[in-house]
Chains A and B, each alone.
Chain A
Amino acid sequence: MRNLLETIQIRPLSDSALVVQVGEGINEVTHTKVKTILNLLEKNPFNGFIEAVPAYNSVTVYYNPINVYFSNLEKGVQSPYENAKTKILSLMNQSNIADTTYNRLVKIPVAYGGEMGPDLEFVASYNGLTPSEVIKIHSSAQYLVYMLGFAPGFPFMGGMDKQIATPRKESPRLAIAPGSVGIAGSQTGIYPLETPGGWQIIGRTPSRLFLPEQSPPTLLQPGDRIQFVPISLEDYAKDLEVKSWE
């Protein structure tokens, strides 16, 4: 068990947000620290805390400088930033990095290729593979959701096999269908909404990733592990709910 303080640095993002920087790079050790910090802040919010946003190796903390200022008037003239920073540091000082974090395994059905995955052939030929080899490689790994961003519920995942890594399209598509599963470099991801995008689309899931009527409003959370399960077009048409695959 190590003290969290040894591994973090705090810097301002704006006059109402700061960044708790945690280590370097994309790896599961850093991810565990990020999750620990997020949980600590959410369970022990300081006066003026608004929300915290985890990323690969940082947590951005949003606060209201006016609330921080007025809740610390009696304690001297430190700026709201210095006050918020002090509070976060003392919270981290009392805490250790969690040894384990619970990870859900979510299985996501994907219809690969054809109309659902117009770039599957390209990904295969780019890597000197057959389409079915690409499907096999893509659906045999488990991926860790490091963070959500870009669009509500869009998972930034790590762990894709380099054998199927493919650069982004030279000119992005103007509209990608919701549920599209794509590859960009050695990342893989799923588009929750219709947006423009340059990823190579290899399949599509009938699972909804953004669920505004639910709390939390997204199918996936940082820390989840996901696995893609190939399904047929007929199964896709049956509009399978992801629950049946968990």
Chain B
Amino acid sequence: MQPGMLATIQDLGRFGLQKFGVIVGGAMDSNSLRIANLLVGNSEGEGALEVTLFGTSLLFESDELIAITGGNLQPTVDGKEVPMWQPLFIRKGSVLKFKAAISGSRAYVSFSGGIQVPEVMGSKSTYIRAGIGGFQGRKLQKNDVFECNTRTESGEDLFNQLQKKTSYLSWSVHYTPFVTFKKTQTIRIIRGSEYERFDEECLKKFFSTPYTISTHSDRMGYRFEGEDVQLKEPFELLSEGVTFGTIQVPSNGQPIILMADCQTTGGYPKIGQVISADLPSLAQMQANDQVFFKEVTLEEAQWALIHQEKEMTNLAFGLSIKRLHQL
């Protein structure tokens, strides 16, 4: 294993412990993670590898069934390009390597059966600051070795089918209902709790001008550079719950969007909240990419999520039919 820029183990997050200050964490692009798992016969919330931007490589010490989804980080096996968004059989001794991101910023590698690491407080997600979860509570390092659990029945079935194939599959998952990969995107938001406290001229600019993702952005938060957003008048806000997608504005007027590893509570005014259906696409953006914010209603946000969930259910069903009919 070579870690590259950053590689961690993530699942859908650690729930039920925020009241103790324990963050949810989990995959930045949860839709790509779920699809990666579905492709190899895992339950959709299984832990997988989240690979960031470039340079990660893995040596396989046994035959494995994997899938690669998310941003296109140019995955190759033994130097040859491999397809994404479909199950792949990887022969023992092969090296999977990610060159660099040509779209998006994070790829997900699922392993049939799942990565064999213990669940800590109900999750395999790496929580680096607290040193828990994932692989020994930290990002992956050179020469780390991890094993996979026994494949599920459907995973084993897929493994056997693909082992016999001499070429890659002719199909792959159509991912656009779940995540998009563009350097400039319109991200939908709903009003934040303190929306009314912001200056009206500033709000107009907030919704009409682009914001650039700063290089000081990570799994905890995306900082933005753009038109100043100021309050009508300053006020004291007590700390309260914040979540993935909350857009806070500190006194310098430059918005920060809290991402998967955000803390559980915060005290900056909240101008808006990114809708859940658009979080995966936002999570795939990288420094210097541009975002336009568009307001939708809470009801529209919830319908968008329900619609996306229906698509995910259809996808899971479609994949199970494909397996039955020998891919």
Residues on A facing B (Cβ under 8 Å)? 11-17, 19, 25-26, 38, 50-58, 60, 62, 65-66, 69, 79-81, 147-154, 156, 192-193, 195, 210, 212, 216-218, 221-222
Q: Mark B250-273, 1 if CB is under 8 A from A, else 0.
A: 000000000000011110001001
Interface centre among B22, B241, B243, B298, by most chain A C-beta atoms within 10 angstroms, is B241
| Bound: A148/B240 CA distance, A | 10
Q: CB-CB < 8 A to A152: which residues of B? A: 17, 20-23, 130
Nearest chain B CB to A190's CB is how many angstroms away? Answer: 12
Q: How far is the CA of A58 from the CA of B132 in the complex (A)?
A: 29
Q: Which 4 A-B pairs have the closest CB atoms?
A: A60-B241, A149-B265, A15-B301, A148-B21
B238 touches A56 (CB 8 A): yes
Give Cα A19 to B19, complex, Å. 14
> Min CB distance, A129 to chain B, in Å?
27
Q: Are A55 and B240 closer than 8 Å at their CB atoms? A: yes
Which residues from B are CB-within-8-Å of A212?
A: 120-121, 130, 132
B190 touches A12 (CB 8 A): yes
Decide: B245 and A14 in contact? CB cutoff 8 A. Answer: yes
- B21 lies within 8 A of A149 (CB): yes
Residues of A within 8 A of B246 (CB): 13-14
Closest CB of chain B to A112's CB: distance in Å? 25
Contact B20 A216 (CB under 8 A): yes
Residue from the set A12, A150, A152 with the largest chain B CB neighbour count within 10 Å: A152
Which residue of the partner chain A has the closest CB to B301?
A: A15
| Residue numbers in A under 8 Å from B161 (CB-CB) | none
Contact A15-B243, Cβ < 8 Å, known A152-B130, A218-B21: no
**Closest B-chain residue to A220, C-beta based?**
B20
Proximity bits, B129-157, A CB within 8 Å = 1, else 0: 11110000000000000000000000000
A66's partner among B16, B263, B265, B305 (CB-CB below 8 A) is B305
Measured CA separation A243–B292 after assembly (Å):
54
- Among B21, B121, B270, residue most surrounded by chain A Cβ atoms (within 10 Å): B21
Q: Contact between B299 and A14 (Cβ–Cβ < 8 Å)? A: no
